[in-house]
Structure 1
């Protein structure tokens, strides 16, 4: 590859120098491409998390700026793995100019509001994933956050793979460390091997989140069907909302993975086998989420039915006591008419006798209502 093809030199200056100048214009703390130094000096506020060059499955020693890494990878027949975290528009534009990324994909990578998908822009594939992680909480309330979601964008080219992460879920440092330390043979397969490892990490996190959500679901179910009924409808609805958010991350990923596993000539055959394993894990997660959603709907319906039954019981109790009070009200209404000639008005024991009769009627009505389950 010539200097003109790579754009390695412009007006007699190395591209590495140009990259440093551009990044210094964005952030004055960037200098000389020393990643460890400028990351510390910028207060850990940098889009470039890591930038490595891999040749034959092994990472080359030293620090590289993104443009230097691309030149070195082209010269040594390797590839670049560039990791970014929440890049700004200016930073992403500089990356796009160096690596030849399409403007539409760059816009998606900055805004991070995409559904999982796989698109192709020339020789570059653009894979979008939704990340997820479980948020620990003491107890589930009507405002508890259970699942936190983010986004992961992966640009896969012939000589590079760029991962753009938004949010705190699915950090890539453990993935990179595992590949470099234990899976050099997989790294030899090129950029698509990194894409597999990233996708595998995201889907494995899905499984962990699903297991944790199941524990919350068990607590809700136990609270609904216990004698105390400690799970109000607000908690059930909140968990359902969180489950819907999780489902939006998991279910749409099935189509991109199917496209990858069915592709020929683009993704290496060996890597497609690995992606099929990820697809199996994703299918399991989708089935779990679907079953959780059905169970949560059943629990919600059961709780609503319980509320209706409780309201009916309350209404029956009120009606029973109102029926008992009606007897006293009826006699009080009759004797409150102040007629001159009424039975027992001149009887010495008229008042005690009436109270005794009303008391007997009250006891009989109470026992009848109690026997029928109204009281």
Structure 2
């Protein structure tokens, strides 16, 4: 159920969106270059940060419990405006850099190629020096590969800091965009084959749905270009070796955007082809009907003359008058048909 914050102060923390999970989960990965420990918290206040080289990734699944966000805000000095953005699942992707945390908000896309339906959910990152919070609306497998790498011995993730883990998680989201665009690309290839066989109204509906889906994805991906660019520049200004990874991530986003634009152009061309084919079919139908009407114009004229009720019409009393008129009408129709055929009008 959606809630709105109309009339409330800007820093009011109000959950806005659809409740996608009943129970909120708090998963913690505690790791350094030697070990990685994973556990579940019942209360975020039970988290204890060690004063050593240990890094912490806290994954919070479910955003409808505002008290958890308030506890995180008070414990780690996070501005209420950022917490309000986390609770608003309808917010556009954004980046906010504060002295203690980097806040990133973006959209995770879900696409079903079978029924051509698309949906999204919000993912938020709070990146600190030794701690990373990720906020998801529901349980999903988007970060499973990163988790497996963390659990593995001698993982590159454990040898780096929180910024590299953040990069890996962001890269997983961008990789999901690649997968979705690949599925849409296959759908477009199937449509091209159908267009060659003969388009129909169902083809047009699929094209419209795909165009709508690509616009939806474009709205989610386009702000990421500026977000990752600013993030990469901020890391590079701090002389951090992780900057090159964020530069690579930026390049991936540019490729995703280029793929979206290419697929939109293909769909626009396919729509033009569909409309042209429909227009050609309509022209063929109109041409056939016009030829038939043209043939019957002189025949209708002759029949209308002999349909007049004048008393003195000598042809009406001829024995062979009716067969003669029918023969004349047949010859006229046949001659016109041959003329049209010689002109290659059909």
Residue 284 (str. 1) matches residue 233 (str. 2):
no
Residue 108 (str. 1) matches residue 85 (str. 2):
yes
Relative to structure 1, is the Cα distance of residues 343 and 284 closer, same or farther in structure 2, using a 3 angstrom cutoff?
Answer: farther
Aligned to 2:45: 67
Q: Is 190-199 or 159-168 further displaced after alignment?
A: 159-168
Give the Å deviation of 1:287: 1.4
Distance (whole Å) between structure 2 residues aligned to residue 57 and residue 282 of structure 1:
33
Aligned to 1:85: 61
What does residue range 171-250 of structure 1 map to in structure 2 within 5 Å? 171-181=142-152, 184-226=155-197, 228-230=198-200, 232-250=203-221
TM-score normalised by length of structure 2:
0.85
Give the Å deviation of 1:351: 0.6
Q: Gapped runs of 5+ residues in structure 2?
A: 1-20
Deviations 1:286-336 (A, max 9, x none): 211111111111111111111122112211111111112222221221111
Give the Å deviation of 1:216: 0.4
Give the Å deviation of 1:127: 0.7
Aligned to 1:95: 72
Aligned to 1:298: 269
Relative to structure 1, is the Cα distance of residues 170 and 151 closer, same or farther in structure 2, using a 3 angstrom cutoff?
Answer: farther
Aligned to 2:4: none
Deviations 1:77-98 (A, max 9, x none): 4232111123112332233223
Please tell me the root mean square deviation across aligned C-alpha atoms, in Å: 2.4
Contact 2:109 2:119 in 1 (8 A): yes
Contact 1:192 1:267 in 2 (8 A): no
Number of residue pairs the alignment of both structures matches: 323
Deviations 1:46-104 (A, max 9, x none): 322412322346324655553333x3x24334232111123112332233223322211
Distance (whole Å) between structure 2 residues aligned to residue 194 and residue 254 of structure 1:
19
What does residue range 117-128 of structure 1 map to in structure 2 within 5 Å? 117-128=94-105
Q: Gapped runs of 5+ residues in structure 1?
A: 1-43, 138-143
Relative to structure 1, is the Cα distance of residues 183 and 282 closer, same or farther in structure 2, using a 3 angstrom cutoff?
Answer: farther
Distance (whole Å) between structure 2 residues aligned to residue 76 and residue 194 of structure 1:
18
Distance (whole Å) between structure 2 residues aligned to residue 302 and residue 79 of structure 1:
56
What does residue range 147-162 of structure 1 map to in structure 2 within 5 Å? 147-162=118-133
Give the Å deviation of 1:349: 0.5
Deviations 1:337-358 (A, max 9, x none): 1112225122111011111111
Contact 2:61 2:139 in 1 (8 A): no
Give the Å deviation of 1:365: 2.0
Instruction: Identify the match of residue 259 of structure 1 among 221, 227, 230.
Output: 230
Relative to structure 1, is the Cα distance of residues 169 and 57 closer, same or farther in structure 2, using a 3 angstrom cutoff?
Answer: same
Distance (whole Å) between structure 1 residues aligned to residue 95 and residue 111 of structure 2:
26
